[in-house]
Chain A
Amino acid sequence: GENVEQHPSTLSVQEGDSAVIKCTYSDSASNYFPWYKQELGKRPQLIIDIRSNVGEKKDQRIAVTLNKTAKHFSLHITETQPEDSAVYFCAASKFQGAQKLVFGQGTRLTINP
């Protein structure tokens, strides 16, 4: 089955700097890669997703890139702000109706003022 590895497990950056979180997946048939943000004690929020027919997708300060050959994808956050502090999860699935997502272990991002 699919296995998703996420790095780093913790990341600390200065406010205004960029943050990058990387994930690798094992199943070459996976073709859908969402990212979630989870604040402490809260529910996960879907922040961006990408399908395998697209190499990059942007939404304001957030972007996701995908390298199908190497089987890895990354989340990029630019101009970080204190409210970006949270745990971020990547996930992978085969996009076919119901999304049987396999999640990474999470990255705790801390933005230092």
Chain B
Amino acid sequence: NAGVTQTPKFRILKIGQSMTLQCTQDMNHNYMYWYRQDPGMGLKLIYYSVGAGITDKGEVPNGYNVSRSTTEDFPLRLELAAPSQTSVYFCASSEGQAPGNFGPGTRLTVT
């Protein structure tokens, strides 16, 4: 099993550009999450999903959108990138307990 995979690993965006961060898991987990981690800080929940077709906002959803058309995929869309979105983004999955399977992360810089 590959676990949770994320692409890309690194990305530099200009202010106002858009992009999609990809996340795929092969463990058939129902629950999937997107977190951001700013330097020296804990993780903050952006969006989560309890199954295909069902998503909901987390703590810091503004400026982001998600979709969950399949159990495996949970892409995160950034529209009109801003410097405040410079962060490391982690996707995770679980089956009801705490997210225990994290992807390797995407380091995003908005300049």
Contacts and interface: CB of A to CB of B under 8 A. Distances in A.
Interface in A6-61: 6, 32, 34, 43-46, 49
A95 B66 CA distance: 23
Interface in B22-65: 31, 33, 40-45, 48-50, 56, 58-59
Contact of A106 (B41, B50, B90): B41
Contact of B98 (A6, A97, A101, A105): A101
A64 interface: no
A34 B43 CA distance: 13
Interface residues of B, number: 25
B63 to A, nearest CB: 19
Interface in B4-36: 31, 33
Nearest to A44: B102
B98 A91 contact: yes
Interface residues of A, number: 23
A36 to B, nearest CB: 8
A46 B48 CA distance: 18
A41 B31 CA distance: 25
A99 interface: yes
B98 A100 contact: no
A49 B90 CA distance: 20
A100 B58 contact: yes
A62 to B, nearest CB: 15
B31 A97 contact: yes
Contacts of A103: 42-44
Given A43-B103, A43-B105, A106-B41, A99 B50 contact: no
Interface of B: 31, 33, 40-45, 48-50, 56, 58-59, 90, 94, 96-100, 102-105
Interface of A: 1, 4, 6, 32, 34, 43-46, 49, 89, 91, 93, 97-106
* 6 closest cross-chain pairs (CB), A and B: A103-B42, A34-B98, A43-B102, A46-B100, A103-B43, A98-B50
